[in-house]
Homo-oligomer: A and B are copies of this chain.
Amino acid sequence: MTRAAREGLGVGVIGAGIMGADHAKTVHRKLSGAVLTAVTDVDARRARAVADATGAAVPADGFALIEDPAVDAIVIASHDSTHAELTLAAIRAGKPVLCEKPLAPTVSESAAVVAAERDAVGDGIPLVSVGFMRRFDPGYVQLKAALRAGRVGPAVVVHGYSRGVSAGPGATSESSVTGSAIHEFDCVPWLLDSPITEVSWQAGRQSSEVDPVLRDPQVLLLRTADGVLTTVEVFLNARYGYDVRCDVVGEHGTLALTEPAVLVVDSARTHGYDYAADWRPRFAEAYRVQLQEWVDSIAAGAVSPLASAQDGLTATVVAQAMITSMHDGGRWVSVPPEAG
């Protein structure tokens, strides 16, 4: 091995908001074999701030970044509405791309990405990965391993809980499904090794603190091909903290993620631990490992172990079926088989 061979992959990050800035920092400071070479944002100051801290260049826009010769691979963390067109550009450039979830807000855009990638690489190494980072979270990884190892027998019911402090601006009942619950639509089939076949949408009592354009909380029901029923509570304005959990009930036991707190405090008549205000501390390790695995697979010329474009499409198809149920009284809606 010479040092040159280890020089590292040049990574460009599109989007320097909370998520993009976090990815840029991880690439710059925590990855082996990668160098942050470029960053862009619609808000030039945000891109500039990241660049100043890392030495990365600031191309004119995402498309310029994709074409930049110093960029070997691209991370897309810009607005959801831009995901598809940027991913398509990366495919055209023949460069590996990690697109934050969702691959696209609509089924048709997601399908277009899948088709474009197929046309571009055929049976070769795929170019597109999707950032369903729970697949790399130590908790979810242990959960799946324990399930596969038979520690509780075959799964019969799954309960998911996805709560945040407050919804982002502009959140609607539908975006709660396509933007937040979509993690579950990828995670549950991955966990159970079985695709989602039908879904049903149910409303909790509306929180009086939330504008009714966003039904919050929602309770989602998922049926996978293996017959397992999953309940998912999504509550974007849960106020008390960022709290994502998953319980798998098996035929002779249960598996449950714990909040990975490391410090317990006794104070003022209470015993307990703190919640974070957003998802970054909870999933910091998942994001780091996901990026490292992605970089390593590119360096090795291997297939990415991340979620694929097809996985991204499938999750979007499930989301679409869920919204159909939402708009039709909560009835069970079948997921089109082409989703899998």
Contact A142 B292 (CB under 8 A): no
Q: Does A239 contact B (CB under 8 A)?
A: yes
CB pair A271 B251 closer than 8 Å: no
Given contacts A142-B262, A229-B203, contact A217 B6 (CB under 8 A): no
Complex CA gap A44/B219 in Å reads 51
Chain B residue, CB-CB nearest to A5? B55
Contacts of A303 in B (CB 8 A): none
- A213 contacts chain B at the CB level, 8 A cutoff: no
- Render A19-51 as a binary contact track against B, CB cut-off 8 A, 1 for contact: 000000000111110110000000000000000
Check A275 against B265 for contact (C-beta < 8 Å). no
Q: A233, B30: Cβ atoms under 8 Å? A: no
Count A-side interface residues using an 8 Å CB cutoff.
86
A294-315 CB contact bits vs B (8 Å, 1 = yes)?
A: 0010000000000000000000
Note all chain B residues with C-beta closer than 8 A to A154.
205, 208
Docked complex Cα distance between A110 and B267 (Å): 39
Which residues, 247 to 282 on A, are CB-close (under 8 Å) to B? 249, 251-277
In the complex, chain B residues whose CB is within 8 Å of the CB of A131: none
Is the CB–CB distance between A207 and B6 below 8 Å? no
**A238 part of interface (Cβ distance < 8 Å):** yes
Which residues in B have their C-beta under 8 angstroms from that of A167?
none
Of B209, B231, B252, B259, which is within 8 A of A240 by CB?
A: B252
Q: Are B264 and A275 in contact (CB under 8 A)?
A: no
Contacts of A155 in B (CB 8 A): 205
Residues of B within 8 A of A7 (CB): 3-4, 6-7
Known interface pairs A1-B55, A146-B265, A271-B241; A229-B205 also in contact (CB < 8 Å): yes
Of B3, B34, B159, which is within 8 A of A10 by CB? B3
Is residue A120 contacting chain B, with contact meaning CB distance below 8 A? no
A334 CB within 8 Å of chain B: no
A175 part of interface (Cβ distance < 8 Å): no
CB distance from A254 to the nearest CB of B (A): 4
25 contacts between A and B (CB under 8 A): A30-B32, A139-B263, A142-B263, A146-B263, A156-B205, A156-B217, A157-B204, A157-B205, A157-B219, A204-B249, A208-B251, A209-B252, A217-B249, A240-B270, A241-B269, A241-B271, A243-B266, A254-B267, A256-B266, A258-B264, A260-B260, A261-B271, A270-B272, A271-B274, A272-B272
Which are the 9 A-B pairs with shortest beta-carbon distances?
A272-B272, A1-B55, A253-B267, A239-B252, A205-B227, A139-B262, A157-B204, A254-B266, A142-B263
